[in-house]
C-alpha cells in the first residue's frame, strides 16, 4: 500500500523531521484560500503539488512554485483539470483529485535519502546520495559511486555515529551534520515502526544560509512511502490513510473477495490455486512466449462465489485475450472450479479462448461438468497437463 505525499509529510513531521507547513485541498477555491493563508502568514513562496501515487510530477508540470494568488488559482485549475502524464503513469495519465499547498523553500542543494530492504543481504538499508531531486534509478545508472549505503542492524537500529559518518560523506558540514544525521535516524525508526517496505525523501534539502540559520537548514520537501500490506492489520493509522481512488480497482475487488491478485501487463488471464503454482504457471506461460495479464491465487479453499468473482475480474480486464485455468485440486475441489466456469460463462460469457487444466480432488466430476457445458462455452479447450495448457493458450492468443 502507498500513501500520498501530504500524508507522508504528516508522518515525518510527527516523527520530528522538519517539513514545511502545508495542507491538502480538493478544490480550486480551497487551494487559493490556503495559498492566501500562507502568504498572509509571511511566506513569499508557495508550492502547489498534485497528490497522486505516481512520481515524476515535477517534470510533468504538476509541482508549481507560486508567488501570487493568481498563480495559485492557475496552478490549481491546471492540476485539477488535466490528467497527469509522467514517466511513471503511462500515456493515458491519471486523474488528480487532491493537491498539497505548502510553504515553498529556497534550495541550496538537493539530496536523496531512503530506507528499504536490501534483498541480497536481507538487511534494511539506508540509501543516500548527494545527487538528489532526480530519480535514484538515473543516478544508479549514470553515477553509481554517488550512492552511499548503510546497513541497519536489526537489534540496534541505525546508530548516531553511522548516520553522522554518512552525513559527512554526503558533504554536510558543521551544524548540518547533526541535522542530517538526526533525520536519518528518525527515518530509519519510522520505517521500522510503520512496517514500511520503502520510505523515500527526494529531495532532502539544505536551505541557503539565513540570519537565524547561518549554516542553512536540512529538511524534507517530498516523501514517498510504501508499506507491507501483510502488516496493515496492526497499523490502524495507515489503514485510515488508504485512498481507494489510487488503488487498482481490480485489486481492490479481489481483496474484498479474499483473492490474492496482482494486475500485470500481459494478455493471458490466469486463474490458479496456490501462490507457488500461480508463479510456476506464469513462468510456463512466459516459456511458451505468452505474457500473463495477472497473478491470481484463488487460495486453497475458495467458494464458488469467490471463484466466479475471480472470473469476473479477469474477464473485466479489457487487455485479456485468453484465459488459462490451472487447478491442482487438494483442499480445493475441481468440481467447484468447473461449476464456477459454467457460472461465469452464463453471467459474463467467455468471448476469449479459455484453456482449462484440472487435476486432483473430484477431477472426474469436474470433467463431466465441463464436457456437458462445452456446447455453451465454444471457446473452451481442455488440456492434458500444464505444458499442454500453456502451449494451447499461447497459440490461441497469438
Ligand atoms: P516529484 O517530481 O514528483 O518527485 O516532486 P518533488 O516534490 O520532488 O518536486 C520536484 C522538484 O521541484 C524538486 O526536486 C525541487 O527541485 C522542486 N521543488 C519542489 N518544492 C520546492 C520548493 O518548495 N522550493 C523550490 N525552490 N523548489 C521546489
Ligand atoms: Mn521527489
47 lines ligand 1 (CB under 6 A): yes
d(CA 124, CA 196): 10
| pLDDT score, position 288 | 97
Ligand 1 atom with the smallest distance to the CA of 54 is 3
Domain boundaries of the chain, sorted by first residue? 1-20+106-246, 21-104, 249-397
pTM for this predicted structure:
0.81
Distance 223 CA to ligand 2 centre (A): 7
pLDDT at residue 52, as a whole number: 95
State how beta strands 380-382 and 354-360 pair. parallel
How many CB atoms are located within 10 Å of the residue 383 CB? 19
pLDDT at 301: 73
CATH number for 249-397 (one of 2.40.40.20, 3.40.50.261, 3.40.190.10, 3.40.50.2000): it is 3.40.50.261
Q: Which ligand is nearest to the CA of 9?
A: 1
pLDDT for the residue numbered 244: 81
Q: Is 222 in the pocket of ligand 1 (CB under 6 A)?
A: yes
Query: What pLDDT does residue 215 have?
Result: 97
Atom of ligand 1 lying closest to residue 58 CA:
2
Phi, psi of 54 (to 5 degrees): -120, 150
- Domain 21-104 adopts which CATH fold? Dna Ligase; domain 1 (3.30.1490)
Highest CATH level, class, for 1-20+106-246:
alpha beta
Q: Which atom of ligand 1 is nearest to the CA of 222?
A: 7
Q: Residue by residue, what is the 3-state secondary structure of the chain?
A: CECCHHHHHHHHHHCCCCCCCEEEECCHHHHHHHHHHHHHCCCCCEEEEECCCCCCHHHHCCEEEECCHHHHHHHHHHHHHCCECCCCCCCCCECCCCEEEEECCCCCEEEEEEEEEECCCCEEEEEEECCCCCCHHHHHHHCHHHEEEEECECCCECCHHHHHHHHHHCCCCCHHHHHHHHHHHHHHHHHHHCCEEEEEEEEEEECCCCCCCCCCCEEECCEEEEECHHHHHHCHHHHCCCCHHHCCHHHHHHHHCCCEEEECCCCEEEEECCHHHHHHHHHHHHHCCCCECEEEECCCCCCHHHHHHHHHHHHCCCCCCEEEEEEEECCCCHHHHHHHHHHHHHHCCCCCCEEEEEEECCHHHHHHHHHHHCCCCCCEEECCCHHHHHHHHHHHHC
pLDDT for res 226: 96
Residue closest by Cα to atom 15 of ligand 1: 133
Could you say which residues of the chain have pLDDT below 70?
none
112 is catalytic: yes
CB 169 within 8 A of CB 158: no
Predicted confidence at residue 183, as pLDDT, reads 98
> Of residues 6, 34, 110, 112, which has the active-site annotation?
112
Nearest to 269 by CA among 360, 328, 355: 355
CB of 132 shorter than 6 A to ligand 1: no
Q: Is 43 in the pocket of ligand 1 (CB under 6 A)?
A: no
Among 220, 228, 135, CA closest to 186:
220
Whole-number Å distance, alpha carbon 147 to ligand 1 midpoint, is: 20
Determine the pLDDT at residue 134. 83
Amino acid at each position: 500500500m502507498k500513501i500520498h505525499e501530504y500524508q507522508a509529510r504528516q508522518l515525518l513531521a510527527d516523527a520530528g523531521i522538519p517539513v514545511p507547513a502545508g495542507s491538502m485541498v480538493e478544490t480550486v477555491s480551497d487551494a487559493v484560500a490556503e495559498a492566501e493563508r500562507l502568504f498572509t502568514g509571511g511566506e513569499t513562496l508557495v508550492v502547489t503539488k498534485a497528490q497522486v501515487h505516481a512520481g515524476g510530477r515535477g517534470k510533468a508540470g504538476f509541482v508549481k512554485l507560486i508567488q501570487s494568488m493568481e498563480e495559485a488559482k492557475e496552478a490549481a485549475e491546471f492540476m485539477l483539470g488535466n490528467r497527469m502524464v509522467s514517466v511513471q503513469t503511462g500515456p493515458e495519465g491519471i486523474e488528480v483529485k487532491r493537491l498539497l499547498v505548502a510553504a515553498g523553500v529556497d534550495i541550496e542543494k538537493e539530496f536523496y535519502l531512503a530506507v528499504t530492504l536490501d534483498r541480497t543481504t536481507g538487511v534494511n538499508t539506508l540509501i543516500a546520495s548527494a545527487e538528489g531531486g532526480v530519480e535514484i534509478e538515473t543516478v544508479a545508472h549514470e553515477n553509481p559511486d554517488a550512492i552511499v549505503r548503510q546497513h541497519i542492524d536489526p537489534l540496534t537500529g541505525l546508530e548516531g555515529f553511522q548516520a553522522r559518518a554518512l552525513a559527512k560523506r554526503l558533504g554536510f558540514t558543521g551544524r548540518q551534520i547533526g541535522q542530517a544525521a538526526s533525520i536519518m535516524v528518525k527515518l530509519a525508526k519510522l520505517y521500522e515502526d510503520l512496517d514500511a517496505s520503502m520510505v523515500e525523501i527526494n529531495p532532502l534539502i539544505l536551505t541557503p544560509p539565513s540570519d537565524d540559520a547561518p549554516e542553512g537548514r536540512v529538511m524534507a520537501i517530498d516523501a514517498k512511502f510504501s508499506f507491507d500490506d501483510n502488516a496493515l492489520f496492526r497499523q490502524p493509522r495507515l489503514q485510515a490513510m488508504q485512498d481507494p481512488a489510487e488503488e487498482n480497482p481490480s485489486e481492490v475487488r479481489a481483496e474484498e473477495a479474499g483473492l490474492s491478485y496482482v494486475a500485470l501487463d500481459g494478455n493471458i488471464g490466469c486463474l490458479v490455486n496456490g501462490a507457488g503454482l500461480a508463479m510456476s504457471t506464469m513462468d510456463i506461460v512466459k516459456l511458451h512466449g505468452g505474457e500473463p495479464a495477472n497473478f491470481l491465487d484463488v487460495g486453497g479453499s475458495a467458494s464458488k462465489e469467490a471463484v466466479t468473482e475471480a472470473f469476473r475480474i479477469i474477464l473485466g480486464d479489457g487487455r485479456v485475450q485468453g484465459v488459462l485455468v490451472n487447478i491442482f485440486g487438494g483442499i480445493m475441489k475441481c468440481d467447484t472450479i468447473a461449476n464456477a466456469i459454467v457460472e461465469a460463462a452464463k453471467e459474463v460469457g467467455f468471448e476469449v479462448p479459455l484453456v482449462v487444466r484440472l487435476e486432483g480432488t473430484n477431477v472426474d466430476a469436474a470433467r463431466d461438468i465441463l464436457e456437458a457445458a462445452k456446447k455453451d462455452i465454444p471457446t473452451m479447450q481442455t488440456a492434458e497437463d500444464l505444458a499442454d495448457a500453456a502451449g494451447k493458450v499461447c497459440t490461441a492468443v497469438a
